Structure 1
């Protein structure tokens, strides 16, 4: 299981998602260009000390990401407001990559076309979208639960 951020715009969201990956034991791919530099203090503040613990792989562009992903196999699962399937009604696999779009524009058409599935979180009528980091956490938890890859609770 992997998380991929497509050209993220907001460093706080990227930092939160990287922290999510570190806490859940999931590598994070960051597809450039980002709307900020990786030395941004907002990214470091949101990621806290987890940035050092995270497995982050940066890619120069989507083509480089696809070359990397092609060598690792697995499906590309888009999290999008244009999705057709709810995450709780989708059968995740351990080698899936969950890709999240830009906060300002979502995923471009070419990424939608390459995705093996497009998932959409159900929301109440009139709600347009969730924060990208919140959506990532909700879908990642369901994917890890289904694939039995949730980290063990050290207190149990």
Structure 2
């Protein structure tokens, strides 16, 4: 469905939560090193619950390694607080890569400068600086899903009220 790319994530529970989200959406999670934790971290596994074993996970040695081995073309978006381009104005397509930087630094400035037109942000009030990484991924990925829902409808939704 989609490719969620976390570049240098630092907080295990955030990554675990995002992994769980990816399993539920049929998305691939890409982790770009260096990571701020071990992939075997208990907090990572606890946040991901029993979903972690079902996760389509790819780990890359560096951002350059990720770029070299993926032909992303025009199918990518960079989430950042450093743009005025709103995420709900972006056009998402099935298979797109949605990149997020680390919790404390975001994406590198050189990456953002080369990709200004592909950068997106979540609007926030004047007093807010940023959102939790897991929350940000959820907001943006569900907008991407909304735009591509016809392709997703075929997945059986479990635990519906009609099933009770």
Alpha-carbon distance, 1:103 to partner: 0.6
TM-score norm. by structure 2 comes to: 0.87
Alpha-carbon distance, 1:32 to partner: 0.6
Q: Secondary structure at the match of 1:33?
A: coil
Are the aligned partners of 1:22 and 1:53 in contact in 2 as well (CA < 8 Å)?
yes
Alpha-carbon distance, 1:91 to partner: 1.2
Alignment of 1:56-71 (within 5 A): 56-70=57-71
Alpha-carbon distance, 1:123 to partner: 1.3
CA distance in 2, matches of 1:106, 1:82: 9
Is residue 2:139 matched to residue 1:108?
Answer: no
Aligned position for 2:43 = 42
Moved more, 146-155 or 73-82: 146-155
Deviations 1:112-135 (A, max 9, x none): 134451111011121111001000
Q: Secondary structure at the match of 2:70?
A: helix
CA distance in 2, matches of 1:83, 1:75: 19
Count of aligned pairs: 155
Long gaps (5+) in structure 2: none
Aligned position for 2:79 = 79
Sort the Cα spacing of 1:75 and 1:113 in 2 relative to 1 into closer, same or farther, 3 A.
Answer: farther
- Which has the greater radius of gyration? 2
Alpha-carbon distance, 1:50 to partner: 0.7
CA RMSD for the aligned pairs? 1.6
TM-score norm. by structure 1 comes to: 0.92
Aligned position for 2:125 = 124
CA distance in 2, matches of 1:74, 1:39: 34
Long gaps (5+) in structure 1: none
